[in-house]
């Protein structure tokens, strides 16, 4: 894998590493998720989901500098690390798109709640952006993993 691709993978890791903890910190501690009329298990599962998102971000941030400096080559672990967080951005993106659609197009939603639809649309864009970086890092890490195994 070229040095440019390796550095680009490190930059993608930094971006993902900043976005995952930023969102999970916001939803866990700054403006926590609130579920109305939902079973307590759903609240626990949401917290576990947010904590796993936070952990994925910390992994990316901790791995990025060593990849950028060339201390570690991309390997199978990076391919796995790029595949595992797919549900961490895909699920919220799909839910946000669905909620935005409901709030913006359903005729029975009061006008004062229409702004909530734009909020969900912004969240969808945010998670889709994370997804783009995730898919690009998956492509880069899988290409480098193949190159690394063929050169051995």
SS (H, E, C) the chain: CCHHHHHHHHHHHHHHHHHHHHHHHHHHHHCCCCCCCCCHHHHHHHHHHHHHHHHHHHHHHHHHHHHHCCCCCCCHHHHHHHHCCHHHHHHHHHHHHHHHHHHHHCCCCCHHHHHHHHHHHHHHHHHHHHHHHHHHHHHHHHHHHHHHHHHC
pLDDT score recorded for residue 74: 65
Q: How far apart are CA 67 and CA 140, in angstroms?
A: 12
Distance CA 21, CA 39 (A): 26
Q: Which pTM was predicted?
A: 0.75
What percentage of the chain reaches a pLDDT higher than 70?
Answer: 90
**Band of the pLDDT at 152, cuts 50, 70, 90?**
very low
Nearest to 82 by CA among 58, 62, 47, 56: 56
The rounded mean pLDDT for the chain is 84
Contact 74, 67 (CB under 8 A): yes
Q: Which residue has the tokens 């492509």?
A: 139
pLDDT, mean of residues 70-81? 73
């Amino acid at each position: 894998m070229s040095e440019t691709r390796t550095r680009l993978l490190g930059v993608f890791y930094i971006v993902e590493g900043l976005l995952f903890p930023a969102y999970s910190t916001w939803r866990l501690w700054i403006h926590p998720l609130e579920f109305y009329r939902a079973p307590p298990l759903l609240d626990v599962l949401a917290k576990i989901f947010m904590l796993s998102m936070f952990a994925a971000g910390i992994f990316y941030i901790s791995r990025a500098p060593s990849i950028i400096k060339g201390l570690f080559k991309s390997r199978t672990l990076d391919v796995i690390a790029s595949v595992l967080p797919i549900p961490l951005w895909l699920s919220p993106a799909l839910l946000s798109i669905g909620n935005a659609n409901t709030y913006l197009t359903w005729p029975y939603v009061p006008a004062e709640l229409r702004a909530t639809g734009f909020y969900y649309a912004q969240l969808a864009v945010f998670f889709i952006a994370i997804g783009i970086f995730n898919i690009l890092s998956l492509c880069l890490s899988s290409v480098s993993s193949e190159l690394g195994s063929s050169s051995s």
